[in-house]
Structure 1
Amino acid sequence: MAVPKKRTSKAKKNARKATWKRKADKAAQKAFSLANSVLKGNKTSFIYELTEEE
Structure 2
Amino acid sequence: MAVPKKRTSKSKSRSHKANWKRKTYYSSKKAISLGKSILTGKSNSFIYLNTESNSIAID
Give the aligned CA root-mean-square deviation in angstroms: 2.0
Partner of 1:35: 35
Partner of 2:57: none
Partner of 2:14: 14
**Displacement of 1:47 after TM fit?**
1.4
Unaligned runs of 5+ in 1: none
Query: Quick check: which one's helix share is greater?
Result: 1
Partner of 1:49: 49
Q: Secondary structure at the match of 1:49?
A: strand
The alignment of Structure 1 onto Structure 2 pairs a total of residues equal to: 51
Identity of aligned residues (%): 55
CA shift in 2, pair 1:29/1:9, >3 Å = same
TM-score, normalised to structure 1, is 0.80
Unaligned runs of 5+ in 2: 54-59
Query: Quick check: which one's strand share is greater?
Result: 2
AA aligned opposite 1:27: S
1:39 & 1:26 partners in 2: Cα distance? Answer: 20
